[in-house]
Structure 1
């Protein structure tokens, strides 16, 4: 029904861990739920005209609008909610926790551990997501222009030790995932089997960006 809305942000409301954007379009205020990560980016654009790609959802007798920063992100949301047992809030949480590229990478490579980091997504659900979308997203990401690095992330053992160490040092899950996403793009580090080097690189990134 709605492909996108272009208007002015008048307010951003946080309610029950949900980010609700009030977007004024032709003197009509639309309530649009967006991923929290996206809403934080939009806070600097209050009263500026923006374009949001939307999904109109009807459940029982209720109607909802969900908004995303790109058509690719919106399309991925639609593919996620087409899976049995994945509701809109779970799909929003997956996109918000991992981001577009990392989420597609986790699904295409079958990285169950990475998918399970999302609140409310257990191992069985993560396995079902990977099983149902792996082939679809492998083809879709090319046409959507979503690039992934299949070999970027460390193996399961390094990932577990890295996360445990950083958590023990007081970093949050959000900070840790951001650091891992960035340092995983280092070609030399990708080939390094020593967790100490991964830890050192992650701490250096977090210290510089803290």
Structure 2
């Protein structure tokens, strides 16, 4: 099991980051709530990870802290929820917001997430309410803070990319349809916005 990756950021292609560890580049998928907090390319980072082994692939998912990973792991135990959908859910809402939505049986918020229909939302509440309540009671607020360990080092030069194109790609990677992704990005786009700002605002507009 790979529980943590520490190295230098080589690439950021939301929702994926590539981290160089002793010359080996690890591709890691992150919920966008974690991706927003990554430092710049060329800086050092330490990320909590969850390793998934499938017949056709070996995948790494990354998180800001152990609390977020714990929520992710509880999510993928639920019927019909795989790692990709769990990552998408935690891109639309933070781990703490998801926990509170389940505890308070807020199906309205959950169904606005891609891939989560009413039946899935109701099943999540039914299966996870007790676990989320227990996690809430056991986890201090300080453990839910969104922080990443990082050390600044000189950044590398990277080719400029169109922020809107990056935002479209990220939203579609998270499960949104192309038309929905383009519509939401165009609705929130303002001059000078970065791709991460566009993604954040587009996700907010759809929740």
Which interval holds the TM-score relative to the shorter structure? 0.5 to 0.7
Larger fraction in helix:
1
Given the superposition, is the C-alpha separation of residues 173 and 127 from structure 1 closer, same or farther in structure 2, using an over 3 Å criterion?
farther
**8 Å CA contact retained: 2:92, 2:204:** no
C-alpha distance in 1, partners of 2:68/2:89? 11
Report 1:136-147 matches (<5 A): 136-146=131-141
Residue among 90, 113, 124 paired with 2:108: 113
Residue 4 (str. 1) matches residue 4 (str. 2): yes
Residue 20 (str. 1) matches residue 16 (str. 2): yes
The offset of 1:177, in angstroms, is: 7.4
Q: What secondary structure, in the 3-state scheme, does the structure 1 residue paired with 2:73 have?
A: helix
Residue by residue over 1:116-165, the C-alpha shift from the partner in whole angstroms, topping out at 9 and shown as x without a partner, is 11111000000001100100110112323259xxxxxxxxxxxxxxxxxx
C-alpha distance in 2, partners of 1:98/1:176? 12
Q: Which has the larger radius of gyration?
A: 1
Given the superposition, is the C-alpha separation of residues 47 and 92 from structure 1 closer, same or farther in structure 2, using an over 3 Å criterion?
same
**8 Å CA contact retained: 2:48, 2:62:** yes
Q: Match of 1:163?
A: none
State the TM-score, normalizing by the size of structure 1: 0.66
C-alpha distance in 2, partners of 1:128/1:35? 22
Report 1:38-187 matches (<5 A): 38-42=34-38, 44-146=39-141, 174-176=203-205
Q: What secondary structure, in the 3-state scheme, does the structure 2 residue paired with 1:119 have?
A: coil
The offset of 1:45, in angstroms, is: 2.5
Unaligned ranges ≥5, structure 2:
143-183, 189-200
Alignment root-mean-square deviation, CA: 2.2
C-alpha distance in 1, partners of 2:68/2:205? 22
The offset of 1:176, in angstroms, is: 4.7
C-alpha distance in 1, partners of 2:90/2:61? 12
State the structure with bigger RCO (CA 8 A, min sep 6), 1 or 2.
Answer: 2
| Corresponding residue pairs, total | 152
Residue by residue over 1:101-122, the C-alpha shift from the partner in whole angstroms, topping out at 9 and shown as x without a partner, is 1111001111111111111100
Unaligned ranges ≥5, structure 1:
148-166, 179-210
C-alpha distance in 2, partners of 1:3/1:140? 20
State the TM-score, normalizing by the size of structure 2: 0.67
